[in-house]
Amino acid sequence: MPNNEIIGKRLKQVREFFKFTQRRMAEVLRVQVSTYKKNENGIHRFNLNCLERLHDELGVSAEWLLFENGPLYWKNIREKEDESKQAALLKQDLFKEEVEEMVEMLKQAPMIRHSVMGHYQDCKIRYKDLIAEIRGGGMSR
């Protein structure tokens, strides 16, 4: 069995593969964010329930996570209904409350609005290829 640090590095790879935040990964695994961070940093042992959720919810190969054998993502073993379940999970409005709170703050605080819009413009430039892919409907996993 690999040590916690190795599994933590692979967990981070999984999270980055799906472009998830640590918070979102914790939601998928149904654990506290602090617990997930400890898993990813190799401080806390990753449990079998979380391993099962990674496989069931995202199609992550347990064999890859534990032993780095085969591909990370076993899309080919999923049935159509499983793919629909995964697509629905990825399309959920994950940050609805945060976005609503941010919009209210932007309406009330011009300095915050100016700062956020500056960061947004920087992101549009930095991620222009990704944005073009998303707008073109070419975003897929």
- pLDDT digits over 86-114, tens only? 666 666 666 677 788 888 888 898 888 88
- Same domain for 25 and 74: yes
Q: Are 107 and 76 in a shared domain?
A: no
Task: Tally the domains of the chain.
Answer: 2
Of 21-25, 58-62, 67-71, 106-110, give the lowest mean pLDDT range. 67-71
pLDDT above 70 coverage of the chain, percent: 79
Give the pTM: 0.52
Is residue 140 situated within a structural domain?
A: no
Asked whether the beta carbons of 54 and 60 are under 8 A apart, the reply is yes
Assigned domain for 141 exists: no
Q: Is the pLDDT of residue 141 over 70?
A: no
* Same structural domain, 8 and 41: yes
